[in-house]
Amino acid sequence: MRNLLPALMFAPALALIGCDAPKAESSAEVHTDLLAPNLSLTNPNDEAPAAVAIFDLHRAMRGVDYEAQLSDAPGVTWMLLEEFGALPDGLELSGNATITGTPQEAGLFDLVFLMTDADGTVRKIARELVVYEPWGYAHQPDMFDVPGFDDAETYAMLGRIEQGHEYVQARPLSVTSDADDPNTNPRDFLLFDTNGGDLQISVFFSAMVGKLNVVLLRQERGNYVEVATGASNNDDAHIYFANLPAGQYALMVEAPAEDGYFTTNAYMFRIRVLAPQTADPAHGDPALSLVSSAALSNSVSLQVRR
């Protein structure tokens, strides 16, 4: 009886969470160079020429056949730069800009391709590939399950995320609200510090496998107060918060349960902090406009409290 719940809205009591905690360090990585997805790495203001249409990579699922095309432009060749990141096991890139196969691992894969167009111009193109865990996924204990890391008293510390940097959890984390599972609690509570800026959080999961609740909280006088939620009936959840004040924050991801039904799913996430916007996103720096709420892929309803 798994994964039959609609997304559960948090009760007001969850908006205020006490804090008096020992710290537990996580082992996920912090990227010090932001790769703007959809833009050339050689020059963020130099997109591919209009004659070359470059496509985003749609979501994949572990164990399910996959095919995605990077471009359909003639005379363009593609090569994956594996020093930036490899394709998941089971997928391969063909010379006609097509990725095919059956992925054997779930995760968040940052890929960089070398694109050579018909006139010999070479560009580096970054793309994000998300591979979900499949329907029927069973909970897998991970580094955030022991001793729990599920509230403000037993949390995981992600560290400091500064402007222009990002934190990436590429390997799937698992949550379940199954009361009979002794290896986990229904939520992960992940703390981080920031010096402020424009915050973008993307949490990746398949709604078909199980919807998850995603909440951003801020520490205020020893308590954690809810400031934003990413709630959706679709895949993934995104939070965008412009001009976020400096301070300590928590990302909480929860598998909901109600009326005897429980949810089990895996998720990956990315947290980015950009410098505060000083230009109109519609006409200013394109790297900033990438994270406007309207530009988020698989966009969801956004609620922000200040």
Confidence bin at 300 (pLDDT 50/70/90): very low
Which of 74-88, 171-185, 236-250, 261-275 has the lowest average pLDDT?
Answer: 171-185
Least confident span in 47-51, 105-109, 132-136: 47-51
Looking at domain 12-33+137-304, which CATH architecture does it have?
Sandwich (2.60)
* 158: amino acid identity, one letter: L
Give the mean model confidence (pLDDT) for residues 240-251. 92
Structural contact between residues 123 and 115, judged by C-beta atoms closer than 8 angstroms: yes
Question: Looking at 4-13, 55-64, 150-159, which range is the least confident one?
Answer: 4-13
CB 160 within 8 A of CB 247: no
- Of 6-15, 172-181, 194-203, the one with minimum mean pLDDT is 6-15
Task: Look at residue 80 in the predicted model and tell me its pLDDT.
Answer: 95
Rounded average pLDDT over 271-277: 78
Quick one: tokens of 102? Answer: 């059956």
Most confident of 31-40, 111-120, 256-265: 111-120
Helix and strand totals (H; E) in the chain: 1, 21
CA angle, 106 then 241 then 249, to 5°: 75
* Domain 60-132: top CATH class: mainly beta
Q: Where are the domains of the chain?
A: 12-33+137-304, 60-132
Average pLDDT for the chain: 74
pLDDT in the model for residue 145:
64
At residue 293, the 3 state secondary structure works out as helix
